[in-house]
Amino acid sequence: MSVENVTKTAQGSSPEHLTSASYQNNLYPVPDSQREPLVLGNPSIHDVTEKIAGIIEGKANAKYWVAVLICASIAGIGFAAIGETVTTGIGVWGSNNTIGWAWDITNFVFWIGIGHAGTLISAILYLFRQKWRTAINRSAEAMTIFAVLCAGIFPVIHTGRPWFAYWLTPYPNQMQLWVNFRSPLVWDVFAVSTYLTVSALFWFIGLVPDLATIRNYVKGKTAKSLYTFFSFGWTGSMRAWHHYEIAYLILAGLSTPLVISVHTIVSMDFATSVLPGWHTTIFPPYFVAGAIFSGFAMVMTLLVIAREILGLKDYITLKHLENMNKIILATGMMVGYAYSMEFFIAWYSGNEYEKTVFINRAFGEYWWAYWSMLSCNVLSPQIYWFKKARRNIPLMFVISIFVNIGMWFERFTIISTSLHHDFLPSSWSYYTPTIVEVGIFVGTIGLFLTLFLLFSKYLPVIAISEIKGIMPGSQPVHHHDEEHHH
């Protein structure tokens, strides 16, 4: 079947009615008229540059600086709380002998999970050639780096002596002391540091062509010199693009296993123990699905705000948001399945301790945390089975907030409810966070938002080169076979 016949066939039917032969003989069997466009308003290549680079070149309004000031102030509260912890000791926290891991490790796992969506969008969706990722990947990648930076704060201060944090890394020393390589906590150090390094490289490599575009656009001498330096002499030649695409593909390949491995290793902090409620083989896939779930929810939260404030509705469209909502629904179902499997295995194993932990989790002293987790993570995303809900902006923003809250409660439930009832009833305890712990967590939220606000002003919040690559004018034109004979 010729391309012309395929086009005629496609024009007379919906995409699902096209024959398999149509797909085999044409790379693009569905005409653009039947596809929802990824860029609205039919902008030109120049319009894309003007819109996204204009955010950087233009002066920020007073509302922007007020937002930065508020977020930076909240981050300052967090650093003050960290200072109190370091100078006084972790006795200012609510942790006790029974619940040694509580607020801090909960927040560590929470922030690591938030960072997972960036690598998934930029690496895995890139390898699957999903074009809709192009408008959201840059923000998601930046969010990954900022979330991992926030996560790294908690294990360091949890040691009680953060000035000895370098002891966590194996290095030659005169005492011939080495870290315990059999400990999952040491695996965390390697996994998280590798994840941060590769994610930062991936993010920066993707930025280089856009930094060159900004370099040619801005007029200030200082800004131009900075963007010139960081664009590494990018010329946009065919050779430069060839090397860029090879490097990007290699980094995508390296990042893909990291999406799976990082949260798998974080889950092993719990799964390799013998504690009821932790000692289970479902944790690695359960944690990975939960990380992608919470990561996409945070991307949704930030992008709904960014597209409104920065006027990017033509580039971050309802199509992008709907696709993210589908992933939130799918991963939410996986997380819900994991919750049910935990209870089933606790019953099926016949282990009285395991069964008691899960009954206590649902109906004990921390019942409020468990049912908050279940309501936010399992019930709230079910509305996304309906297309209208998946394309309702206020609704998706609210649900993304609920998912973020629910995923925090999930980590808190796993850690605190498994620890507070130990094997000895005499050591049972209850955990309540102190104002210092709350201050540190709220401070990391302020730090995260401050970094994202600065990123959205001084770096392209959308990948300019990739958006241009999916626009109609950039796609190859398929002509009828007979036209080549003329």
Per DSSP, the residues of 346-359 read HHHT--HHHHHHHH
Structure tokens at 128: 């699957």
Amino acid at 148: V
CA distances from 223 to 126, 382, 453, 461 (A): 31, 47, 18, 17
CB neighbourhood size of 310 (10 A): 19
Dump pLDDT digits (tens) for 423-445.
Answer: 888 888 888 889 999 999 999 99
Confidence class for position 31, pLDDT limits 50, 70, 90: low
The pLDDT value recorded for residue 413 is: 92
The pLDDT value recorded for residue 7 is: 40
Up-side HSE of residue 7: CA atoms within 13 Å toward CB? 10
CA distances from 95 to 165, 169, 206, 351, 435 (A): 20, 26, 42, 28, 12
The pLDDT value recorded for residue 34 is: 64
The DSSP secondary structure of 70-87, one letter per residue, reads: HHHHHHHHHHHHHHHHHH
For the chain, the C-alpha Rg in angstroms (whole number) is: 25
* Sign, CA torsion 226/227/232/237: negative
Q: What pTM was computed for the model? A: 0.85
Confidence class for position 79, pLDDT limits 50, 70, 90: very high
E strands, 173-305, in order = none
Dump pLDDT digits (tens) for 204-251.
Answer: 998 999 899 888 888 888 888 898 999 888 888 899 889 989 998 998
- The distance from CA 67 to its chain's CA centroid, rounded to whole angstroms, is 22
SS3 content of the chain, % helix, strand, coil (to 5): 75, 0, 25
Angle, CA 339 vertex, CA 338 and CA 341 arms, to 5°: 60
Rounded Cα distance between 280 and 301, Å, is 32
Give the residue, 458 or 485, on which the prediction is more confident: 458
Structure tokens at 223: 């800004």
The pLDDT value recorded for residue 331 is: 92
Structure tokens at 286: 């359960």
Give 239's contacts (C-beta < 8 A, 6+ positions apart): none
Q: Is residue 16 predicted with pLDDT exceeding 50?
A: no
Give 376's contacts (C-beta < 8 A, 6+ positions apart): 402, 403, 405, 406, 407, 409
Rounded Cα distance between 90 and 85, Å, is 6
Length of the chain: 486
Helices (H), 272-317: 283-309
The pLDDT value recorded for residue 263 is: 87
Decide: 384 and 390 in contact? Cβ < 8 Å.
yes
Dump pLDDT digits (tens) for 238-283.
Answer: 998 899 899 989 988 888 888 888 889 989 888 888 888 888 889 9
Q: Average model confidence (pLDDT) for the chain?
A: 84
- The domains found in the chain, sorted by start residue, are 36-464 (1.20.1630.10)
Confidence class for position 332, pLDDT limits 50, 70, 90: very high
Q: Is residue 13 predicted with pLDDT exceeding 70?
A: no
In the block, tokens 């712990």 appear at: 437
The pLDDT value recorded for residue 392 is: 92
Q: What is the DSSP letter of 183?
A: -
The pLDDT value recorded for residue 476 is: 55
